[in-house]
Structure 1
Amino acid sequence: MRIGELSERTGTPRRLLRYYEEQGLIAAARSANGYREYDARFVDRVMQIRGLLDAGLPTRIIKQILPCLDQPRIIHFADATPEMLATLELERDRMTERIECLIRNRDAVAEYLDVVRSKRRPDDAPAVPSG
């Protein structure tokens, strides 16, 4: 697929996809006319990259851990420094905190919905979300 299709399928701007390529996070083949051609597997890869970036990991760390996200997993980090390991542990802990916060928020919303639904009269029309 070309860069435009990858952009559409992942919701990632083309410029950002080119940046991922410059950083060695994804790779494109070149067609005879010079257009970038991406394998369909890069849809999932780009989504993984975006998730890791959203979690706060820098691209240099993402590049090192991307092989661990593939199936089957290929893990080989002869060059893993104590700094990299400490950074990964910190980021893992930050992700865990965010997950726990999301779970608390989800549970609070679910509890609110349960209470509101239990208090509704049968003749009440369902509320239409505004937005």
Structure 2
Amino acid sequence: MRIGEVAYKAGVSTRALRYYEEQGLLESERTPSGQRVYDASAVERVKLLQLLFTAGLPSRTILQLLPSIDAGYGSPEVFELMTTERARITAAITEMTAARDALDRMIDIAHNPTPEHCPALREPAWAPYASSPSSVA
């Protein structure tokens, strides 16, 4: 299967496929004219790679996981690596949740301003003078 067909079927760019090859995540054969040719299994492999990248795993970690994925067996080191990555992703989710919550508060304040948050809603500085008895003549 040629690079364009794999890219189309997997829903990625040909540039992504070249990157995967450079990183050692995907293999191809070369024709005598130098064109890349992939096995039919490359489409599923690319979809798996996309899932792993979407999960936030860097290519170096994916490269460490692939032998176990291909063998269908995980060593204790692989499980430790996956646990570490899961903890990293969980921490990132916590940080993103806090950022989202802060943004929600700002949106709420913008839609429902109060004098505490909006100086324009505070009583004007001249108001006490306008209502004082000495200013009425």
Please, what TM-score do these two structures have when normalized by structure 1?
0.59
* Structure 1: stretches of 5+ with no match in the other structure: 98-131
Query: Higher Cα Rg: structure 1 or 2?
Result: 2
Give the gaps of 5 or more residues in structure 2. 95-137
Share of identical aligned residues, percent?
A: 41
Structure showing the higher helix proportion among its residues:
2
Alignment of 1:38-49 (within 5 A): 38-49=38-49
What amino acid sits opposite 1:65 in the alignment? L
Distance apart, 1:69 and its partner CA: 2.4
Residues 6/77 of structure 1: CA separation in 2 closer, same or farther (3 Å cut) = farther
Q: What's the C-alpha RMSD, in Å, of the aligned pairs?
A: 2.6
Moved >2 Å (runs of 4+): 67-70, 74-78, 84-89, 91-94
* DSSP-derived class of the 1:65 partner: helix
Q: How far did 1:68 drift?
A: 2.6
In the alignment, is residue 87 of structure 1 matched against residue 84 of structure 2?
Answer: yes
Give the structure 2 partner of residue 62 of structure 1: 62
Alignment coverage as a number of residue pairs: 91
- Letter paired with 2:62: I
Structure 2 CA distance for aligned equivalents of residues 19 and 63 of structure 1: 13
C-alpha contact 1:53 1:59 (8 A) present in aligned 2: yes
Aligned to 2:33: 33
1:42-99 CA-partner distances (Å, limit 9, x unpaired): 11110000011011010100111122323x5144577x6x7x45532325757xx9xx
Structure 1 CA distance for aligned equivalents of residues 37 and 21 of structure 2: 12
CA distance in 2, matches of 1:66, 1:24: 10
Superposed, which structure 2 residues align to 1:1-131 within 5 Å?
1-70=1-70, 72-76=71-75, 84=81, 87-90=84-87, 93=90
Measure, in 2, the Cα distance between the counterparts of 1:7 and 1:85: 28
Counterpart Cα distance in 2 of 1:42 and 1:55: 20
Q: Write the letter of the residue equivalent to 1:48.
A: L
